[in-house]
Amino acid sequence: MGLTAIKLELLVGLLAVAGLVTTVWWIWPRLSARTFPSILGRVGVLLLNQILTLALLGLALNNYFGFYGSWADLLGTDTSQSAPIVADQGPGVPPAEVTGGVQVIGTTRVPLISGRNGDAGGRLQQVVISGATSRLSSPAYIYLPPQYFEERYANTRFPVIVALTGYPGDARNLVTRMNMPAVAARAIDRREMIPTIMVLMRPTVAPPRDTECVDVPGGPQAETYFTKDLKEAMAGSFRVGTDAANWGILGASTGGYCALKIAMRHPEAYSAAVSLSGYFKPPIDATTGDLFGGSRKLRNENDMMWRLDHLPHPPISVLVTSSRKGESNYPSTLAFLRAVKPPMQAASLILPSGGHNFNTWIRELPQALPWLAQQLHMPSPASPGSPAPAPSPSS
């Protein structure tokens, strides 16, 4: 039974209730004596009931926040990046294939609320993206707008937005919880954003370690994966632009820090970023280990406030979000905004209230996603000499 299965949550809930009722009604009266075995029995019963209650709470919180997607993910034995599970394929879509560094596992259609059939909302592909330099691989989803499949755009290349979850995260949450493909499809259909390809994934490319998207000395080269390998794999598999002006990155929580950090450290790779409830310097704890190999220089370079105080500001555009009530990053977000100077441009989306959770990010996404797309430029045509029409929403 899967970790996120509703049946598992209901089963543990029933066991917790049954354990409490059984304890109060039947077990406790029989262990009321002041003998050593009775005392041990009462302690054991209390522990068992607490374990069941905590297990139920843990399952409920995991299903709500999407911390872990499977037992293997929880236990750190996730091998999905090398042996992905095949997704159901819709009718009329191509079979699994491997092009460049992208292995396509399955394809489904993205519907539009307008009710139009076919590829009106585009397609969503489940993939595994492998990096030639970092030697890292990660499961992901790729959203392809409907214009990507239209004949008149056969020579058109598209901009790309990379969207990241928090830690440890599950890329499926960007589809099932935040509904990013549908949000993008509606925004494109309403002409709120240009047709854009999206890569939906988690920042945890070396599970279970939280790398904070850092090239760890002697460890996982996560930063290289996102700034070099991912772009090369996408360019080798899809009609995408390769310039920084064609690429943006968005993330929530840890993904928000990663998005901001990657764009600020690598303006040659990404020209714009959105940080939803992100922080500005990486934590060091049991999940991260030593990210910087004892290097104070490397630690400072991954601190965004330090960069703004000591290094030239990069020519990028960023959007940061927070809430006046409910978000701990509100003061640091204001400090970050005050510190930004040209040529870097910073915008903000501040809610009156909202916690550090999916509900808040779902409220912010319909504004944040079109904003990010508007910062990107359409690439040049895929074939020299072939005019590329400016993509518009599918008719």
| Same domain (yes/no): 353, 225 | yes
Reported confidence tier of residue 5, pLDDT bands at 50, 70, 90: low
| Same domain (yes/no): 44, 83 | no
Rounded mean pLDDT, 298-324 = 97
- This prediction has a pTM of 0.78
Cis peptide before 168 (omega within 30 of 0): yes
| Same domain (yes/no): 60, 95 | no
pLDDT at 84: 31
Answer whether residue 95 shows pLDDT above 50: no
Interval 189-235: pLDDT, tens? 999 999 999 999 999 999 999 999 999 999 999 999 999 999 999 99
Rounded mean pLDDT, 30-47 = 80
Domain with 209 in it: what CATH number? 3.40.50.1820
Tell which residue, 287, 294, 352, has the closest CA to residue 325.
352
Range of the domain at 218: 79-374
Interval 125-182: pLDDT, tens? 999 999 999 999 999 999 999 999 999 999 999 999 999 999 988 999 999 999 999 9
Rounded mean pLDDT, 27-39 = 79
Interval 52-66: pLDDT, tens? 788 778 767 666 555
| Same domain (yes/no): 37, 123 | no
Rounded mean pLDDT, 33-44 = 80
| Same domain (yes/no): 221, 343 | yes
* Number of domains the chain is built from: 2
| Same domain (yes/no): 22, 112 | no
For all residues of the chain together, what is the average pLDDT?
85
